[in-house]
Amino acid sequence: MNSLITVRLASITDAEALSRLNQEFNGGVHRPPAQIIEHLHTNRNELIAVAELNGSIVGFGCAQSLYSFCYEEPYGEITELYVQDTARRKGAARAIITCLEDELRLRGVKRVKVLTGRRNTAAIQTYEDCGYVKDDEQMLDKELTNEARPSIP
Protein backbone atom coordinates (compact mmCIF):
# COMPACT_ATOMS: atom_id res chain seq x y z
CA MET A 1 0.00 0.00 0.00
CA ASN A 2 1.35 3.42 -0.97
CA SER A 3 1.61 5.76 2.05
CA LEU A 4 0.78 9.31 1.06
CA ILE A 5 0.94 12.25 3.47
CA THR A 6 -1.58 15.02 2.87
CA VAL A 7 -1.74 18.24 4.85
CA ARG A 8 -4.57 20.74 5.25
CA LEU A 9 -5.88 23.27 7.72
CA ALA A 10 -7.81 21.72 10.59
CA SER A 11 -11.59 21.79 10.79
CA ILE A 12 -13.99 21.11 13.64
CA THR A 13 -14.32 17.51 12.47
CA ASP A 14 -10.65 17.05 13.47
CA ALA A 15 -11.24 17.95 17.13
CA GLU A 16 -11.21 14.37 18.43
CA ALA A 17 -7.94 13.56 16.65
CA LEU A 18 -6.37 16.86 17.74
CA SER A 19 -7.37 16.15 21.33
CA ARG A 20 -5.73 12.71 21.18
CA LEU A 21 -2.56 13.92 19.46
CA ASN A 22 -2.19 16.90 21.79
CA GLN A 23 -2.40 14.56 24.77
CA GLU A 24 0.34 12.36 23.25
CA PHE A 25 2.50 15.39 22.55
CA ASN A 26 1.97 17.71 25.51
CA GLY A 27 0.50 15.44 28.18
CA GLY A 28 -0.87 17.33 31.16
CA VAL A 29 -4.51 18.32 31.36
CA HIS A 30 -6.59 16.70 28.63
CA ARG A 31 -8.16 19.17 26.16
CA PRO A 32 -11.66 17.89 25.37
CA PRO A 33 -12.79 18.06 21.73
CA ALA A 34 -15.49 20.61 22.67
CA GLN A 35 -12.80 23.04 23.85
CA ILE A 36 -10.84 22.52 20.65
CA ILE A 37 -13.96 23.19 18.55
CA GLU A 38 -14.59 26.40 20.50
CA HIS A 39 -10.96 27.42 19.98
CA LEU A 40 -11.21 26.76 16.23
CA HIS A 41 -14.27 29.03 16.08
CA THR A 42 -12.87 31.91 18.12
CA ASN A 43 -9.08 32.17 17.71
CA ARG A 44 -8.41 33.97 14.44
CA ASN A 45 -4.67 34.49 14.98
CA GLU A 46 -3.85 30.79 15.21
CA LEU A 47 -3.50 28.41 12.31
CA ILE A 48 -3.71 24.66 12.88
CA ALA A 49 -2.59 22.24 10.16
CA VAL A 50 -3.13 18.49 10.26
CA ALA A 51 -1.25 15.74 8.45
CA GLU A 52 -3.07 12.65 7.26
CA LEU A 53 -1.58 9.30 6.37
CA ASN A 54 -3.86 6.74 4.73
CA GLY A 55 -6.91 8.66 5.95
CA SER A 56 -5.83 9.01 9.60
CA ILE A 57 -4.61 12.21 11.23
CA VAL A 58 -1.05 11.52 12.37
CA GLY A 59 0.30 14.99 13.12
CA PHE A 60 -0.44 18.64 13.63
CA GLY A 61 1.25 21.99 13.72
CA CYS A 62 0.20 25.37 15.08
CA ALA A 63 1.29 28.85 14.09
CA GLN A 64 0.36 32.34 15.18
CA SER A 65 0.32 35.53 13.19
CA LEU A 66 1.28 38.31 15.58
CA TYR A 67 0.82 42.04 15.25
CA SER A 68 2.55 44.79 17.19
CA PHE A 69 2.72 48.55 16.91
CA CYS A 70 6.50 48.10 17.06
CA TYR A 71 6.67 46.45 13.66
CA GLU A 72 5.35 47.49 10.29
CA GLU A 73 4.43 43.93 9.27
CA PRO A 74 3.02 40.98 11.19
CA TYR A 75 5.40 38.19 12.09
CA GLY A 76 4.73 34.52 12.56
CA GLU A 77 5.63 31.92 15.09
CA ILE A 78 5.33 28.17 14.77
CA THR A 79 4.36 27.15 18.26
CA GLU A 80 3.71 23.41 18.03
CA LEU A 81 4.72 20.58 15.71
CA TYR A 82 4.00 16.94 16.38
CA VAL A 83 4.01 13.81 14.23
CA GLN A 84 3.29 10.35 15.63
CA ASP A 85 6.25 7.95 15.67
CA THR A 86 4.68 5.65 13.07
CA ALA A 87 4.39 8.51 10.57
CA ARG A 88 7.82 10.07 11.02
CA ARG A 89 10.41 10.25 8.26
CA LYS A 90 7.69 10.35 5.60
CA GLY A 91 7.63 14.11 5.03
CA ALA A 92 4.77 14.97 7.38
CA ALA A 93 6.65 17.54 9.48
CA ARG A 94 8.05 19.30 6.42
CA ALA A 95 4.59 19.32 4.79
CA ILE A 96 3.00 20.79 7.95
CA ILE A 97 5.67 23.50 8.14
CA THR A 98 5.16 24.36 4.46
CA CYS A 99 1.38 24.55 4.90
CA LEU A 100 1.73 26.86 7.91
CA GLU A 101 4.26 29.06 6.10
CA ASP A 102 1.97 29.34 3.06
CA GLU A 103 -0.97 30.38 5.24
CA LEU A 104 1.16 32.87 7.19
CA ARG A 105 2.40 34.33 3.90
CA LEU A 106 -1.26 34.92 2.90
CA ARG A 107 -1.63 36.95 6.12
CA GLY A 108 1.27 39.21 5.17
CA VAL A 109 3.87 37.48 7.33
CA LYS A 110 7.42 37.65 5.97
CA ARG A 111 9.38 36.32 8.96
CA VAL A 112 8.67 33.24 11.08
CA LYS A 113 10.18 32.24 14.40
CA VAL A 114 10.25 28.80 15.99
CA LEU A 115 10.74 27.77 19.60
CA THR A 116 11.93 24.24 20.27
CA GLY A 117 14.02 22.54 22.92
CA ARG A 118 17.80 22.88 22.67
CA ARG A 119 18.16 19.10 22.98
CA ASN A 120 15.43 18.28 20.46
CA THR A 121 17.92 17.54 17.70
CA ALA A 122 15.37 15.88 15.41
CA ALA A 123 13.12 18.97 15.47
CA ILE A 124 16.07 21.33 15.05
CA GLN A 125 17.29 19.33 12.04
CA THR A 126 13.80 19.37 10.50
CA TYR A 127 13.53 23.14 10.86
CA GLU A 128 17.04 23.65 9.52
CA ASP A 129 16.18 21.41 6.54
CA CYS A 130 13.27 23.80 5.92
CA GLY A 131 15.60 26.82 5.87
CA TYR A 132 15.41 28.01 9.48
CA VAL A 133 18.61 29.21 11.13
CA LYS A 134 19.56 29.53 14.78
CA ASP A 135 19.83 33.06 16.07
CA ASP A 136 21.31 34.61 19.17
CA GLU A 137 18.02 35.33 20.95
CA GLN A 138 17.37 33.68 24.29
CA MET A 139 13.90 32.58 25.35
CA LEU A 140 13.05 33.24 28.99
CA ASP A 141 10.08 31.65 30.74
CA LYS A 142 8.04 32.56 33.79
CA GLU A 143 4.88 31.07 35.22
CA LEU A 144 2.49 33.72 36.47
CA THR A 145 0.59 33.06 39.66
CA ASN A 146 -2.68 34.56 40.81
CA GLU A 147 -0.76 36.50 43.41
CA ALA A 148 -0.71 40.22 42.67
CA ARG A 149 2.58 42.08 42.75
CA PRO A 150 2.91 44.49 45.70
CA SER A 151 2.35 48.14 44.89
CA ILE A 152 5.38 50.36 44.60
CA PRO A 153 4.91 53.53 46.72
pLDDT at 1 over 50: no
The string of DSSP codes covering 69-128 is TT-SS-EEEEEEEEE-GGGTTSSHHHHHHHHHHHHHHHTT---EEE---TT-HHHHHHHH
Asked, for residue 141, whether it belongs to a domain, the answer is no
Residue 27's pLDDT is what? 87
Stated pTM of the model: 0.87
Burial class (CB in 10 A: 0-12, 13-18, 19+), 120: exposed
Asked, for residue 113, whether it belongs to a domain, the answer is yes
> Residue 151 — pLDDT band, cuts 50, 70, 90?
low
Q: Which domain holds residue 57?
A: 5-129
* Of 26 and 61, the one with more pLDDT: 61
Q: Taking residues 69-81, what's their average pLDDT?
A: 93
CATH classification of the domain holding 78: 3.40.630.30
